[in-house]
Structure 1
Amino acid sequence: MRIARRTIVESVYLVTAPLSAAVGLPLVVGGLCVGTVGSLLQSGSPVAARALALARWPGDLEWWRIGQVRSRAGGARGTGWRPRSKETADAADPGLWLDLAHTVLVLPVVLVTSVVTVLWWFVGVATATYPLRSQVTPGSPRPLTLYAGSDRSHIALSLGLTSPAERLAFAMTVAVLLLFTLPLVTRVCVAAQTGLGQALLSNMSALHRRISGLEQDRDTAVAQAVAAVTAEAAALRRLERDIHDGPQQQLVRLAMELGRAQHHFDRNPELVRAALADAVVQTQQALDELRALSRGIAPPILADRGLREALSTLAARCVVPAELDSGPLGRRPDAVVETTAYFVVAEALTNVAKHSHARRCTIGMRHAEGILRVWVTDDGAGGAALAKGHGLQGLADRVHAVGGRLQVDSPEDGPTTVTAELPCR
């Protein structure tokens, strides 16, 4: 009884599929055309949104039909209507284009499955009811022929069986064979049709996940590129400001001292000697400024001896007493990861010295499961934030540019912890 019910439900699903597919094709194509054009002409157009929503209706209907044939035929719970990945329809939603692909690809499939189902039912019922419809008298030489329609036209099956017993036995054999194999036929046809629907219509299908994953990778790459450009622009602006405020001023004063020495070279040797002494001081100060800037661009110790030694140097130079808590690093990270981690610690220590009023701080570093974590914790006043206009925002852009993330935990009364997690494989 259960097999018979399942076969009937699956047969209804297969026979009605061409109608839903034929109606769905113009709805999907028309909705996508109107919605895409409307979105290009006016972003957020309600007409475009309604058209795109209409384009998804055939896919929703087929998904509901798949759930119904599953629940009624196999006793499983129906899938219901498809959940939406977005609240409003969008021409960039891969689900819309997968619905279009399903609507186009399902047409030949439903034509084959529906024709096979109808023919199987027709021939099976026709042969099973042959004894009731037969008008052959005993001994009649008329062969067995199946008829359909009011004009009794041939279906093209004429076997030449003259004996009534032979005709009856043949008809019953064909009927039993077709009706007993009908559940298998409908199950295969339903599996082919619903398999295509599950592959293209489900938000959890492998193809949908692949497209969504590629979109997320694209968005992440774009965000990282924007963050890299922003961080680079901020670094260049800061370097320009530091050069202007430091070495450039020192060099201007050096040029003035040398000019004064040149002007008084013959008349006042003592003044020339004092000017040259000032020039030597100015030269040394300019060199110190340039060395400090070069450490900010590419510290030599980082390239020569690695991240742990570079962080030890930062801890030793920090105005606030700092200690290094470093775990095993394993394989040396990429240069860009090392540089980013170094800058995170250096900038965090600069903020500690300028703003935190801390008495001590800790520099930490751990490498586990492909992630390099560096952090700086101080016992200062707190109140640091990742917000526009704060220095930490530029640091967050630099971290995001290499695929990492920056976290700031800084309540009003402290302590403050700045943590960077960087991909390190």
Structure 2
Amino acid sequence: MERDYAEDMAESLPSVVAGRWRPGAGPAVRVGRRTLVESLYLLTAPLSAAAGLLLAAGGLCAATAGSLVPSGSPVTARALALARWPGDLEWWRIGAVRSRTGGARGAGRRPRSKEPDGAADPELWLDLAHAVLVLPVVLVTSVVTGLWWFVGVATATYPLRNQVTPGSLRPMTLYAGSDRSHVALSLGLTSPSGRIAFALSVGLLLLSSLPLVTRVCVSAQAGLGQALLSNMSALHRRISGLERERDTARAQAVAAVTAETAALRRLERDIHDGPQQQLVRLAMELGRAQHHFDSRPELVRAALADAVLRTQEALDELRALSRGIAPPVLTDRGLREALRALAARSVVPAELDAVALSRRLEPGIETAAYFVVAEALTNVAKHSHARRCAVGLRHTGGILRVWVTDDGVGGAAPAEGHGLRGLADRARAVGGRLRVDSPEDGPTTVTAELPCH
């Protein structure tokens, strides 16, 4: 039994040393310890607040001076860190007093932004605002706490500091004001026993209410610190993140509109230069056949034969254009087979390096990947002077990568056109990006990375 008791005492020692209260401690003991800790926090606050204000002001001035000096970035960074140190100290003090008065555990190291913005960091200005605003608050709370302790202890120890003499005493009078103008309040208390009873009553009243006074003062002072020193810039970063998402969505919408506009213009040009011309010529041939139908049968037969040829050519061109709008092989058989068909139809011999996808992707992602490869193969045929090219497809980590590599002359860049800006817009429209690696003398690799989950 003695050994168990000793083990229990040994286990309880760390918590007592750390300042935390054992569950078995009486309410009076817990309240007394809490009041002592809170009083220590309040009475030492003016010193830390005054030193903190001086450090914050000095750090801000040093950072300003460092920003005016060439290559003064390290000086500015250290000065701003010095200006924020008082806030870190007060955050630690708040955590210490909270953990040692039965509240939450210590706050520990104050959370900081992962990417501080220097003078533009809102946390820095919140720290400076705390250094300025906390000084008058701590002056009030420390004076109230000090006076409460002083008057309470003085009145409670009155019988120990004064000898009791028999007989009548002069009435006790309280004065408020100056010698010329004051208010006097006579309390009577002409007997020694009456004065002792009054002093003990006032002392007990003040000391018993002291825990409530210190708790209110700590709540006001620590509340101000937590409001200003907490990681308030998380809201600012969240707003900035939402703004970036909004800008990204706008950029994607603009890119989508730009890509679709370019596609429609290209389709309009292709229809005008291809099927429309064939249909116009077909109409002319049919009109000529109609005009000579009775008089020159041989000319009519030739015109009809030419009309059939023009009709077949127009159908072929319309089929080719329809593949640029909604390729059936992509819809029916998936992206890998659609890329295989593109590689088979490529003017420059193309090799397909595509792994099988585990599932069908979103239609928008598949369409964007298909047209990126199709346009890239067209660019290879028109501009690269390549003898061979390769088409690749991979889907890893939520990213779909398609690429086209050729052994041509190189030197391609999105800024120089060649349809690459349209490809970049198409990739950006679905939240992806386009990379072009094309040194002089080749080889050229056009890679589209598209997000898909």
1:417 is paired with a residue of what secondary structure? strand
Q: Deviations over 1:322-375 (max 9, x none)?
A: 121122422211111100000011011111111112222111111122111111
Q: Percent identity?
A: 59
> Letter of the aligned partner of 1:128 in structure 2?
V
Alignment partner of 1:121 is 2:149: no
Corresponding residue of 1:197: 228
Residues of 1 paired with 2:111 and 2:312: CA distance? 77
Alignment partner of 1:359 is 2:387: yes
Give runs of aligned pairs for residues 4-403 of structure 1, distance below 5 A.
Answer: 7-11=42-46, 66-67=87-88, 69-70=90-91, 85=117, 118-130=143-155, 151=182, 162=194, 164=196, 167=199, 171=203, 174=206, 178=210, 182=214, 188-199=219-230, 201=232, 205-387=233-415, 389-403=417-431
Change (3 A) 1:169 1:306: same
Change (3 A) 1:16 1:354: same
Native 8 Å contact 1:136 1:142 kept in 2: no
Native 8 Å contact 1:113 1:189 kept in 2: no
Native 8 Å contact 1:399 1:406 kept in 2: yes
Gap regions ≥5 residues in structure 2: 1-36, 53-80, 97-107, 186-192
Native 8 Å contact 2:349 2:389 kept in 1: yes
Change (3 A) 1:343 1:145: farther
Computing the radius of gyration over CA atoms, which structure comes out larger, 1 or 2? Answer: 2
CA displacement at 1:171 relative to structure 2: 2.8
Change (3 A) 1:149 1:416: farther
1:412 is paired with a residue of what secondary structure? coil
Gap regions ≥5 residues in structure 1: 18-59, 155-160
1:403 is paired with a residue of what secondary structure? coil
> Letter of the aligned partner of 2:151 in structure 1?
A
Give runs of aligned pairs for residues 408-423 of structure 1, distance below 5 A.
Answer: 408-423=436-451
Residues of 1 paired with 2:315 and 2:197: CA distance? 116
CA displacement at 1:170 relative to structure 2: 6.4
CA displacement at 1:66 relative to structure 2: 2.6
- The Cα RMSD (Å) is 4.8
TM-score for the superposition, normalised by structure 2:
0.66
Residues of 2 paired with 1:423 and 1:261: CA distance? 57
1:162 is paired with a residue of what secondary structure? helix
Residues of 1 paired with 2:95 and 2:221: CA distance? 12
2:262 is paired with a residue of what secondary structure? helix
Aligned residues: 364
Residues of 2 paired with 1:406 and 1:12: CA distance? 59
Native 8 Å contact 2:293 2:300 kept in 1: yes
Residues of 1 paired with 2:421 and 2:320: CA distance? 23
Corresponding residue of 2:18: none
Change (3 A) 1:402 1:355: same
Residues of 1 paired with 2:177 and 2:234: CA distance? 47
TM-score for the superposition, normalised by structure 1:
0.70
Corresponding residue of 1:424: 452
Residues of 2 paired with 1:393 and 1:143: CA distance? 99
